[in-house]
A = this chain, B = another copy of it.
Amino acid sequence: MMSVVPEPDLPTNLACLKPVDALLRCPVCFDYTNIAMMTKCSHNFCSLCIRKFLSYKPQCPVCNSTATESDLRNNRILDDLVKSFKDARHKLTQTTFESPPISPKT
């Protein structure tokens, strides 16, 4: 049986990458942006997060500008950046922590 292991925080010596990490997260769900959609006001969200929000209120959750679903534009470079950053972060975290993960108490 596979257990879900939460992503570790960035190790201390990689703390300088935290601002990059933060920019790649959705302002609605705080997870890495998934299928990034950009509003006219240049804010980015997961496709599902922004569509849900707009069906309730036609405005940007970040800056309150008027926003509609038809104005949304895919921001594919953000999807590519999320993928590449997660890969790099995974590799860097493994390099830094040479020790095996702590086993849960049974």
Interface residues, chain A, with chain B CB atoms under 8 Å away:
13-14, 16-17, 19-20, 23-24, 38, 40, 42, 44, 73-78, 80-81, 84-85, 87-88, 91-92, 95
Contact = CB atoms under 8 A, between A and B. Distances in A.
Contacts of A74: 42
| Total copies of the chain | 2
A80 B23 contact: yes
B23 A73 contact: no
Nearest to A78: B77
Contact of A88 (B16, B40, B78): B16
A80 B27 CA distance: 15
Give the secondary structure class of A's interface. Answer: helix
Contact of A16 (B77, B80, B81, B92): B92
A31 B9 CA distance: 31
Nearest to A92: B16
A73 B14 CA distance: 32
